[in-house]
Amino acid sequence: MAGTNPISLSRDIAIDLGTANTLIYIRGEGIVLDEPSTVALDTTTGQVVAVGHEAKRMWGRAPRNIRVVRPLKDGVIADFDLCEQMLREFIRQVHTSRFSKPRMIVCVPSEVTGVERRAVQDAAEFAGARRPVYVIEEPMAAAIGAGLPVSEPSANLIVDIGGGTTEVAVISLGGIVTASSCRVAGDEINDSIVAMFKKEFNLDIGDNTAEDVKIQLGSAWPLEQELTADVGGRDVTTDLPRTQEVTTVEIRAAIDTPVTTIIDVVKSTLERTPPELAADVISNGITLSGGGALLTGLTERIIHETGINTVIAPDPLISVVLGGGLTLENLDAMKGLTAQSDDE
């Protein structure tokens, strides 16, 4: 992984601190780290034993004394100490100097509270960032990373569907005109799949299995050819392992509620968009980013529901961190897009 290479002392860092994954961009280097936002903790000693991919591999497989957790929930920090330790380790992997602190910009959901925003800044500072820590709202970062002309006097609508939150924003003249955020995204879709297997088939499946099912069988719109697959889990009645055949039709029905919620947020944002800018959105279309953008048939579903052309960003999984990184490259000119620490 590129993130293991040492870097020069003066390099600045952009971080997409996501519920599901953390990505790091280094000025002049590009994206150098992409790891799950996961921590493995030894409950007997209180010590962190693994982070990122190594910790995620332990999920559902670790001994009793190892607790595997995600320190972020719904786009915000749920466990400050574990988040700070995870962030410190990720930064250590890409910034090896003990004598200099990197300048840092962190991407945050658009509707975080002041307390939640400050928690992100504090975690970054405690993990080794230079003060002040800059923040940029995720939909703005996603729009920049998707290559949308955010500074022009024409509106663009970005929908960023991450693990914990869905961010929808209309952007014009370098600022967010209208925005909505909901804490329904990829994780909720996974939870719906887990709940369906338990209710319909008396089968317990793990989070990683639900993620695989979503990727392989999940869809938001009918497929030309529906698929079938066997999914393994633990029988609720017998406690023994077994497999269950499931179809894309069944998975689509299981995830319809969170998918509909996401689309309703898009619609509500459009309803609150000024008429002139709404005309721009109709002309320019809707751009999807984040891992949720890759859900099969989601563009077709949004087009059907809104009547507006919808496309997926060129690199949806990295749009946010890429936008944060591009902001870093020209921070002085783009400070209007960022909010700094309270004490600068």
pTM: 0.90
- The candidate with the shortest Cα–Cα distance to 31, out of 9, 50, 52, 5, is 5
Residue 224 has a CB neighbour count (10 Å cut-off) of 4
Residue pair 161/313 in contact (Cβ under 8 Å)? The answer is no
pLDDT confidence of residue 7: 37
pLDDT at 335: 56
Listing DSSP states for 77-127 in one string gives ES-HHHHHHHHHHHHHHH---SS----EEEEE-TT--HHHHHHHHHHHHHT
Contact assessment for residue 14 and residue 325, using Cβ atoms and an 8 Å cutoff: yes
Closest to 101 in 3D by CA, of 73, 129, 63: 129
The predicted structure's pLDDT at residue 4: 41
Quick one: pLDDT at residue 14? Answer: 94
CA distance 341 to 55: 31
10-residue stretch averages of pLDDT, the chain, 344 residues long: 42 90 92 95 93 92 91 90 92 76 89 87 89 91 96 95 95 93 95 97 94 97 96 96 97 98 97 94 97 97 97 97 90 60 49
Q: Using CA atoms, how far apart are residues 157 and 150, in angstroms rounded to an integer? A: 10
State how far the Cα of 210 lies from the Cα of 231, in Å rounded to an integer. Answer: 9
Instruction: Report which DSSP code applies to 219.
Output: B
**Domains of the chain (ranges plus CATH)?**
2-139+319-339 (3.30.420.40), 143-184+257-312 (3.30.420.40), 199-253 (3.90.640.10)
Question: How deeply is 130 buried, as exposed, middle or buried, from its count of CB atoms within 10 A (0-12, 13-18, 19+)?
Answer: middle
Is 89:103 a contact under the CB 8 Å cutoff? no
Q: Provide the CB-side half-sphere exposure for 244 (13 A, CA).
A: 23
- Give pLDDT, residue 146: 97
Q: What is the DSSP string of 158-194?
A: EEEE-SS-EEEEEEETTEEEEEEEES-SHHHHHHHHH
Burial of 182 (0-12, 13-18, 19+ CB in 10 A): buried
Identify whether the C-beta of residue 229 lies closer than 8 Å to the C-beta of residue 217.
yes
CB 305 within 8 A of CB 265: no
